[in-house]
Amino acid sequence: MKYKDLITKMTLEEKASLMSGKDFWQTQDIERLDINNIFLADGPHGIRKQAEAADHLGLNESLQATCFPTAATVANSWNEELGETMGDYLGKEAVAQKVNVLLGPGINMKRSPLAGRNFEYFSEDPYLAGKLAAGMIRGIQSHGISACVKHFAVNNQEERRMSIDTIVDERTLREIYLTAFEIAVKEGETKTIMSAYNMLNGAYTNENLHIMRDILRGEWDFEGVVVTDWGGSNDRVAGLAAGNELEMPTTAGETNEEIIAAIKNGKIKENILDECVDRLLDLVFTTEEVFKKESKEIDINEHHEMAQRVAEESIVLLKNEDNILPLNKDKKIAVIGDFAKEARYQGAGSSIVNPTFLDNTLDVLKESNIESIGFEQGFDRYGKKSKKKIDEACSLAKEADVVLLYIGLDEVTEAEGLDRENMAIPENQIELLDALFEVNPNIVAVLSCGAAVEIPFINKVKGLVHAYLSGQAGAKAILKILTGDVNPSGKLAESFPVRFEDTPSYHQFPGKEVSVEYREGPFIGYRYYDTANVDVLFPFGYGLSYTTFEYSNIQVNKDGVTFNITNSGEVAGLEVAQLYVGCQSKDIFRPKKELKGFTKVSLHAGETKTVTIPFDDKTFRYFNVKTNQWEIEGADYNIMIGASSSDMRLEDNLFIDGTGAPLPYNKENLPSYYSGKANNVSVEEFETLIGRKVPVATWDRTKPLGYNDTIAQCQYAKGLFARFAFRAIKFSHKFLWKIGKRSTANLIMMSVYHMPFRGMVRMTGGIMNMGMLDGILMVVNGKFFKGMRHLLSERKKMKASKRKLDITTGSSSKGEVL
């Protein structure tokens, strides 16, 4: 232990006190030992430091900070260095705002296009997500503070996010859902990890000994701190035993007491606590160093420009028929669409940033040399139909050479805490597009949203630019792409299926009650479409440029692939070359090919460069469930260089010696996996894959409700009062939605409906304790009077003990009593 001497001087109570927050954002300090508190703040694409009222849902305003493009956007840059530069800028701002731990990046896999937080995550591919995250972490931590990679792990739906049990087989867990974290730990050297809210194969992630101890500490040698997601602690002692140092936010000491009791009664050994304290102290001492130096002012203009640069490299050109783009400067352009007036540039929830500036297209249009003949809103952002708006837009469109149409998803559709209901763009926007097409078929659509959407109108647009959520300077970046001042170089970090029904997890997303079964196994995203031969609209890795690139002269040896790329067009550009590897043996099921490397090359017109993509420890490995370790199958491998996952430009073969491990599967029993058609696997076949029975996925409606059941389950509670409360919640949600208070309606779902009962205690910073919750649960379970008596007597006890504490410490307690 690094801080053994200091820890020896600490009392048991002091040690336990460090294991949970002092308030919503800070850790506990111990003055007598010169241990300061540290500040943790969101988020992944900009700092959300709340100086006053604190919350984890992005409700109360935070200090101003640069809002960079969200992870879903940055991922399209396929540029690890750019990720590092963005991290560097985030790190500078975090230091300026005295933030020790920046809660990001988020690196969960996009299992379904509907997952509510996809806009905050990088990709459906773990290699790409891991590399970009590692870059960002290095950038942030270059300032001496800590990044906090999240949410560890397998956190891929918002529905019942604090209680859902994700059932996934070991190989898929390793190859798909943990690999990005592995890269973030080993290559990014993140100092902090945030555990996820959900359960994984029957245990809450922060209590899950397999991922927390065997893998994170055992295999990856992680020496940093694990912090719970806010309010995500279930059994504090079990979490500590698994190596979860910090619980956030404060529980006003309640769970510290649990730790103390567990040590006193021998449930856990004190040295486990000491080790956790040691790692937490390291985080405190190493991340506070930077604040001892003189602080530097941030040049917010420079940061704004950097946000624009990141967006420029991340925007994806998806269609360019008749070379309608770049926009010829003499053409008359009609700008149509609500999003041109008010940019959609970030998502909602804990990642929300209070931007230093905000560029809107209409305000910055003049600087772009676009010859605009006018603007029409065309549609109402929240889906109300308006014939008048369509007519006005069509009149303007008739006068134009090209229609520039800004469409997308609104602010409440993509939000933390809620999954999307479908992949559609609102009907009223499609109607507008149809009408515009009738009067002027020269349409360039600019899409603003943080995820894959269905694009049924693809044949009605000549140009399509996916701007994703491009941050506070996104509007300018989009215009630079449209005018050709910047040659687009973004490529999709996720597949665009034709229809939602085509997605591999279609039948198993989201889990609605107890669990969600990842029956598609490793076949997520392009791994599925490619292997099962399902057509997509735009494949993973796809993106156009205003120039063309030719690939030649592939040379493969045991260390990697070398090849030439030539810019065969008229203008300078950047090309993302992608290395895919496929195994020719059919003994172990696998995706047809998997991304194993990439590089982004800058080329002048006519220039050729020779590039090498090296192989690494992940190029040929697979996880063998029989030997329970990574192995290599001795076989011939296809080594492919592609401009996207479905556009292979160069190919060669390489034989690789294997590790000689026994075959892990019996082919006959796993037909869907061996064919790759894994979108509708039977429960029996899935059970064969995971090697055990799956837990019952539905609620046992006869059981009384407990700490981990959610408020939504009050619908079948014994207590009349609880059932009434459920109806009232449902009604208020509907009502608020109807009267246009959509964010508030969402909030109800997010922070009440899907909240487990224990959240009432964990999220209220000491206003309530578990004893009081027991009373509430009695009421919920039909024992109204007994429950109320219990609640009141527990409240009285809590008040009394707080008073006693105040007298002994001479301070006023942090937690208020109801």
Is the distance from CB of 753 to CB of 729 less than 8 angstroms? Answer: yes
Region 602-631 residues binding ligand BGC, contact defined as CB under 6 A: none
Residues present in the chain in total: 818
Distance of CA 809 to the CA centre of its chain: 42
The nearest distance, CB 239 to ligand BGC, in angstroms, is 16
Build a one-symbol-per-residue string for 170-209: x at contacts with ligand BGC by CB under 6 A, - elsewhere.
Answer: ----------------------------------------
Q: Any catalytic annotation for residue 214? A: no
Q: Which amino acid is at 128?
A: L
CB nearer to ligand BGC: pick between 41 and 461: 41
Nearer to ligand BGC, 463 or 759 (CB): 759
Show the site string, 568-587: x = touches ligand BGC by CB under 6 A, - = not: --------------------
Mark 442-481 with x for binding to ligand BGC (rule: CB under 6 A) and - for no binding. Answer: ----------------------------------------
Q: Which is nearer to ligand BGC, 350 or 356 (CB)?
A: 350
CA 446 – CA 542 distance, rounded (Å)? 17
Q: At what angle do helices 784-809 and 770-780 cross, to 10 degrees?
A: 170
The DSSP result for 227-239, as a single string, is E--TT--S-HHHH
Window 529 to 568, contacts with ligand BGC (CB under 6 A): none
- Considering beta carbons, is residue 49 or 480 the nearer one to ligand BGC? 49
Rule CB under 6 A: is residue 764 a binding residue for ligand BGC? no
Using an 8 Å Cβ cutoff, are 694 and 167 in contact? yes
Our CB check for ligand BGC shows the closer of 99 and 327 to be 99
E strand or H helix at 101, and its extent? strand 101-102
Residue number with CB closer to ligand BGC (76 or 351):
351
Does residue 103 touch ligand BGC according to CB under 6 A? yes
Q: Are the beta carbons of 99 and 514 closer than 8 angstroms?
A: no
CB of 193 to ligand BGC, least distance (A): 12
Question: Residue 659's closest CA among 682, 614, 628, 698?
Answer: 628
- Interface residue with ligand BGC, options 68, 121, 230, 620 (CB under 6 A): 230
Minimum CB separation from ligand BGC for residue 100, in Å?
14
Q: Of 576 and 712, which CB lies nearer to ligand BGC in the complex structure? A: 712
593 binds ligand BGC (CB under 6 A): no
- Kindly state the smallest distance separating residue 706's Cβ from ligand BGC, in Å: 22
Output the CA–CA distances (angstroms, integers) from residue 154 to 178, 313, 810, in the order listed: 8, 29, 45
Give whole-number Cα distances, 730 to 56, 413, 706, 751, 759, in Å: 22, 18, 21, 13, 19
What 22-25 contacts at long range (C-beta under 8 Å, 24+ apart), as own/partner pairs, is 22/250, 22/814, 23/54, 23/249, 23/250, 23/765, 23/814, 24/50, 24/54, 24/55, 24/56, 24/248, 24/249, 24/250, 24/765, 25/49, 25/50, 25/54, 25/248, 25/249
Does the footprint of ligand BGC cover residue 520 (CB under 6 A)?
no
Q: Which CB atom, from 350 or from 764, has the smaller least distance to ligand BGC?
A: 350
Q: CA 598 → CA 78, 110, 564, 581, distances in Å?
A: 8, 19, 14, 12
- Taking the complex as a whole, how short is the minimal distance between the CB of residue 761 and ligand BGC, in angstroms? 16
Which residue among 15, 22, 56, 596 contacts ligand BGC (CB under 6 A)? Answer: 56
Residue 42 interacts with ligand BGC (CB under 6 A): yes or no:
yes
Minimum Å gap between C-beta 747 and ligand BGC is: 12
The CA distance from 329 to 571, in Å, is 17
Q: Which is nearer to ligand BGC, 26 or 645 (CB)?
A: 26
Give 174 or 754: the residue with its C-beta nearer to ligand BGC: 754
**Toward ligand BGC, which CB reaches closer, 201 or 350?**
350
> Tokens in use for 205?
């992630």
Q: How far is the CB of 191 from ligand BGC (least distance, A)?
A: 16
Amino acid at 803: R
The total of other beta-carbon atoms located within 10 Å of residue 178's CB is 24
Closest CB 242 distance from ligand BGC, rounded Å: 19
**Is the CB of 57 or the CB of 768 nearer to ligand BGC?**
57
Nearer residue to ligand BGC within complex by CB, 84 or 229: 229
Judged by CB under 6 A, the number of residues near ligand BGC is 7
Q: How far apart are CA 510 and CA 114, in angstroms?
A: 9
**Could you say whether residue 229 binds ligand BGC (CB under 6 A)?**
yes
Shortest CA distance to 749 belongs to which of 413, 381, 346? 413
Is there a contact between 351 and 308 (Cβ–Cβ < 8 Å)? no
Amino acid at 657: D
CB within 8 Å of 607: residues ≥ 6 apart: 566, 567
Q: Give me the DSSP letters along 152-194.
A: ES-----TTTTTPEEE--HHHIIIIIIHHHHHHHHTS--SEEE
d(Cα 744, Cα 701) in Å, to the nearest integer? 29
Which residue among 198, 350, 442, 713 contacts ligand BGC (CB under 6 A)?
Answer: 350
Closest distance of CB 148 from ligand BGC, Å = 8
Per the structure block, which two tokens stand in for 253?
Answer: 């000491």
Q: Is the dihedral of CA 382, 388, 389, 390 positive or negative?
A: positive
CA distances from 201 to 158, 207, 505, 520, 693 (A): 17, 11, 18, 16, 11
Site for ligand BGC in 136-155 (CB under 6 A): 150
For residue 380, the minimal CB distance to ligand BGC (Å) is: 30
Least distance in angstroms from the C-beta of 170 to ligand BGC: 26
The residue among 559, 556, 498, 505 whose CA lies nearest residue 527 is 505
Q: Which two tokens stand for residue 214?
A: 């065997």
**Rounded to whole angstroms, how far apart are CA atoms 222 and 424?**
41
Shortest reach from residue 234's CB to ligand BGC, in Å: 15
Burial of 107 (0-12, 13-18, 19+ CB in 10 A): buried
- Which of 23, 42, 88, 229 is catalytic? The answer is 229
DSSP 291-340: GGSPPPPP-HHHHHHHHHHHHHHH-EEEEEGGG--SPPTTSEEEEESHHH
The minimum distance between CB 348 and ligand BGC, in angstroms, equals 12
CA distance 462 to 504: 30
Q: Give the Cα separation of 405 and 407 in Å (integer).
A: 6
Which residues of this chain interact with ligand BGC, rule CB under 6 A?
42, 56, 103, 150, 229-230, 350
Active site residues: 229
